[in-house]
Amino acid sequence: MRIFLVAVAVVLTLIVGVSRVYLGVHWPTDVLAGWCGGAAWASLCWFVALQLQRRGQVEAPGEGAPGGVVTTPQ
């Protein structure tokens, strides 16, 4: 399911970018810069999340309480 959602997000991003150039509201370099900026931001967020997981400051995927319920120690 995750691969499907990522694929849909990528396709929609490409379609929107190409349509902006086709409609003449942006230059191709504007769209390319937007894609690069978005990729850089996503990479930074992924890197920070990975570092926080390695340090144990956040839970790794699949390590939380069942059903995503947050529990507090008594």
pLDDT of residue 68: 58
Residue 74: pLDDT over 60? no
For residues 21-44, one letter each, b for 16 or more C-beta atoms within 10 angstroms of the residue's C-beta and e for the rest, the string is eeeeebeeeebeeeeeeeeeeeee
What are the pLDDT digits (tens) for 6-64? 999 999 999 999 999 999 999 999 999 999 999 999 999 999 999 999 998 888 777 76
Q: What's the pLDDT at 72?
A: 57
pLDDT band at 67 (very low <50, low <70, confident <90, very high): low
Domain boundaries, given as residue ranges, for the chain: 2-56
Helix (H, G, I), strand (E, B) or coil at 54: helix
Q: Give pLDDT, residue 22.
A: 97
